[in-house]
Chain A
């Protein structure tokens, strides 16, 4: 961060001096490019960072510009009052457009937002108040303490100050815990929810932010051009904006700015060959998504990775047990599942399953494929609604809680097929889980940024401690998917523990691990239990279950067929039958008589 300061300062000075080297036309082009850069930041935030396919960004832009135009020319408001109201309008529209995102994602969201953008366009081309297809001209020059902002040169300075603040805020948000949560949601919304992220609120936040940036861009555009017309906000321009963000690199705010500036300049240069320009950027977008999905901003990282791969390997260190142990209260019930049933399209996946896990216990859940083990986990962690039965956590009824609420109540889980956030580093994966604040806390980003910085620093320290404890310190900066599978498994457990849970659900933690890794896993799980966490573990590796678990619950066809200490359970005829086909078929030497007697 410190190294970047001189760079930023240098760029700032360069930007300040830029007008001295430009003629009037070039100045105008740069002014427009800055507006597009703002739009690019907004789109980068919602699409690149939060992963919401938003094709209505151009409408946010339009709302800002048109509100400003209508309020100044039709209602006679002063420019800056109108501008403030325009921002409010854009944010409001962002809020409204986010509603579909709560229900649908991906291409569905793309088509809905595109449809809403078309609806906006349709309104401005038809409404008398918006000047129909001619648009609104003769907007007032924004007053500024006697400075004549009708000059493109002077307006540039207004723009560049606004832009600097907007860019700084965007960078701040992306690097702060909020941005991390947004990126986590983008990579895997289910896992993010399991870590306590309030997905709906985060999606709304993303759209509100993009609305805000669209509105700011719109206001500046209205002040700069002082004329608004529908074609500026056309779908073609939406796709141009998209191209800017994709080519620049959607996941990097700086990349989005870069793409926006470069493409608007190229568009100006090729203004007489606009069709060829369109052909060109369309082709580049296609090539980019296939060959360089992270855009221009991602190229250095791609090269760096190739470079780093040739360097020495990091080492996995052993786990350091937690020092202070919370003594479990014997007999106290940590988790109680009462008569839970779950049906999928006529198939009874769970049939009145009951199970009681006491405090400080390691409980194994085993059973043949399709016996309902993961379904049970999904109900306990809130991913499936539970229609019949109750789930109690330390006596408190948590039936039907959403995943984020269960996470806040102290339930952590891992997933059968690892759900680490692929584009976040190992340390960031941990940080997402460490952050226990509610999403509503984000008002501080606007009002008390210093408090955010302090919290951020605190989390960082805790993350380093945790990474050290799990022996993962040397992998802190690595992306999980580049790591060996065994290490990814450990990262996932560390991430679950970062939430400081009371109850830890492990779904096949030994799958894909070799013998030594399984042994270390057992050590870690025991140490976690000793630190006061109750553990429920689904596992196929029977050797691990037998040696690790205090009690084992056996499911078969959605029903509990046995429950008790491992050795006892392994001798129950129903269990052997569920596994082998028939209980008496494969007998141990001791009970040969049984077979002979038949």
Chain B
């Protein structure tokens, strides 16, 4: 069973310090949330873990794998799936090709879409459609489906609720809960604190690139300090 361990994680864009000295861990099968206002460094944290931005870290490992020494395109092979902010599906490719690319690290000969189509039946209907022609909600489902195709043991999600209607958010929420119940660990980055607390057991609140507070989602839910951090009161 693998644990994601992060210690002393930092990230800079040019001269801007986006993330500074962040430390946390996600145990196997656990669901952890990172919340905070815009520009708090949540997205950068995920990118740093995925190796998609130049980062520094004292410890960055997943199970036996030292992610500090893993090139970005190998991170998925360690068993980590990634759903980027703003979905980032491949717009000019069909839904099915998008999903196949999710399974890029596996053989395409005996690939099954059953799990993804089971979770998101609408994708099965649209499988020959170009991803760019889907609605925002469908694209979000596709992005999650794509990440699932690599059969990850840990999945990182970046703002899956962004720009979706409340109904769709509920759907996505249900799927995340189901995945977690089936044993997939989840690291959920969200601005939407409510959604995050419903899915996760533990959460971190980020502010100005640092972790401002941590606690069980249960405890944070009633804590007025969270709202103060968000609204700068």
| A interface residues, Cβ below 8 angstroms from B | 368-370, 484-486, 488, 508, 511-512, 514, 540-546, 557, 570, 575-576, 579-582, 585-589
Contact = CB atoms under 8 A, between A and B. Distances in A.
Given A542-B232, A579-B231, 11 more contacts: A368-B38, A368-B191, A485-B14, A512-B16, A542-B233, A570-B233, A579-B37, A580-B227, A581-B161, A586-B222, A587-B222
A581 B192 contact: yes
B191 A369 contact: yes
13 contacts: A369-B159, A369-B191, A484-B15, A511-B16, A511-B39, A540-B37, A543-B232, A546-B232, A579-B230, A580-B230, A581-B193, A581-B194, A589-B224
Contacts of A488: 15
A587 B224 CA distance: 6
A370 B162 contact: yes
Interface in B183-233: 191-195, 208, 221-224, 226-227, 230-233
A369 B14 CA distance: 21
Interface residues of B, number: 29
A512 B193 contact: no
Q: Which secondary structure characterizes the binding site on chain A?
A: loop
A586 B227 contact: yes
Contact of B233 (A485, A546, A557, A589): A546
A579 B224 contact: no
B106 interface: no
Contacts of A587: 222, 224, 227
Contacts of B162: 369-370
Q: Which secondary structure characterizes the binding site on chain B?
A: loop
Interface in B1-51: 13-18, 37-39
Most chain A CB neighbours (cut-off 10 Å) among B38, B163, B224, B233: B38
B16 A485 contact: yes
Contacts of A557: 163
B110 to A, nearest CB: 39
B209 to A, nearest CB: 9
Contacts of A579: 37, 191, 230-231
Which 8 A-B pairs rank lowest in CB-CB distance, beginning with the nearest? Answer: A542-B232, A485-B15, A512-B16, A581-B194, A581-B192, A543-B232, A540-B39, A586-B227
Given A369-B191, A484-B15, A585-B194, A542 B231 contact: yes
A588 B224 CA distance: 5
Nearest to B230: A579
Contacts of A484: 15
A514 B208 CA distance: 9
Contacts of B161: 581
A540 B208 CA distance: 10
A543 B212 CA distance: 14
Contacts of A585: 193-194, 221
B224 A586 contact: yes
Contacts of A514: 17
Nearest to B193: A580
A340 to B, nearest CB: 21
Contacts of A368: 38, 191
B227 A370 contact: no
Contact of B227 (A369, A508, A540, A588): A588
A586 B15 contact: no
A540 B192 CA distance: 16
A220 to B, nearest CB: 47
A579 B36 CA distance: 9
Contacts of A589: 224
Contacts of B195: 581
B230 A542 contact: yes
A483 to B, nearest CB: 8
A575 B231 CA distance: 9
Given A542-B232, A586-B221, A586-B224, A369 B38 contact: yes
A586 B193 contact: yes
Most chain B CB neighbours (cut-off 10 Å) among A370, A514, A575, A580: A580
Given A368-B191, A370-B163, A586-B224, A541 B232 contact: yes
A485 B195 CA distance: 35
Contacts of B227: 576, 580, 586-588
Given A540-B38, A582-B194, A587-B224, A512 B17 contact: yes
A576 B208 CA distance: 19
A369 B18 CA distance: 16
A570 B231 contact: yes
A580 B194 contact: yes
A449 B33 CA distance: 66
Contacts of B208: 541
A253 to B, nearest CB: 31
A156 to B, nearest CB: 51
A512 B161 CA distance: 26
B35 to A, nearest CB: 9
